[in-house]
Amino acid sequence: MTGGRAPRDGKGRWIRGVESAERDGEAMRLRSLGWTLQKIADHLGYGNPSHAKRSIDAALALIPSEGAAEMRKVMDLKLDRLERKLWRLANRRYPALFQGVQVEIDGVPQWDSGPVRGALNDLAQVYRDRRKLHGLDVPVRQEIAAETVVRYEIAGVDLSKLT
């Protein structure tokens, strides 16, 4: 950055410089370590988490396809580990407590379904992340071939007399 302003081209468009590329790379590195977008934004001075996300996306776009494939493998391993932990949480039973004592109705212990629902919601997010990681949610481009005939008429003109 020169003089406190981002470098611009002759048309006023922002020019990506070395500093911004390094910052994007650092944001991606921190994200791979599990940092939240908010924490990355605060640490690197982004205005908000969406700017940190944009920076990470920009860095990912510059990774050669072999590097992107390697990054996908790493992210898949992380998602696998997270999925296993969430399934363990979802398959546990959690006692319903009131003032630190398990709730019983007619002598039958009651169980809290909230933590299980939370784990299942988190699992659904893991599956959405995995679909996004592998591009499974990208819309399929479809081409529709059709021959369209358009006929224009001018009121009061007999086309058979024109030649």
Q: Give the type of residue at 87.
A: W
CA distance 122 to 128: 10
pLDDT band at 150 (very low <50, low <70, confident <90, very high): confident
Identify the weakest region by mean pLDDT among 76-90, 101-115, 140-154: 140-154
pLDDT bracket for residue 2 (50, 70, 90): very low
Q: Which helix (H) or strand (E) holds 72?
A: helix 65-90
* Percent share of the chain, pLDDT over 70: 87
CA dihedral 8→11→12→16, nearest 10 degrees, is: -40
14: confidence class by pLDDT, cuts 50, 70, 90: low
Most confident residue range from 45-49, 52-56, 61-65, 79-83: 79-83
Please check the confidence at residue 82 and state whether its pLDDT lies above 80.
yes
> Residue ranges of the domains in the chain?
1-62, 65-142
> H or E element: which one contains 104?
strand 104-105
Name the packing angle between helices 37-44 and 49-61 (round to 10°): 90
Burial class (CB in 10 A: 0-12, 13-18, 19+), 27: buried
Which has more pLDDT, 130 or 8? 130
pLDDT tens for residues 118-132? Answer: 999 999 999 999 998
Helix (H) or strand (E) holding 95: strand 94-95
Helix (H, G, I), strand (E, B), or coil: what is residue 59? Answer: helix
Whether 1 contacts 9, CB under 8 Å: no
Q: What is the pLDDT of residues 22-37, one digit of tens each?
A: 888 899 889 888 899 9
**Is the pTM of the predicted complex or chain greater than 0.85?**
no
Q: How far apart are CA 67 and CA 71, in angstroms?
A: 6
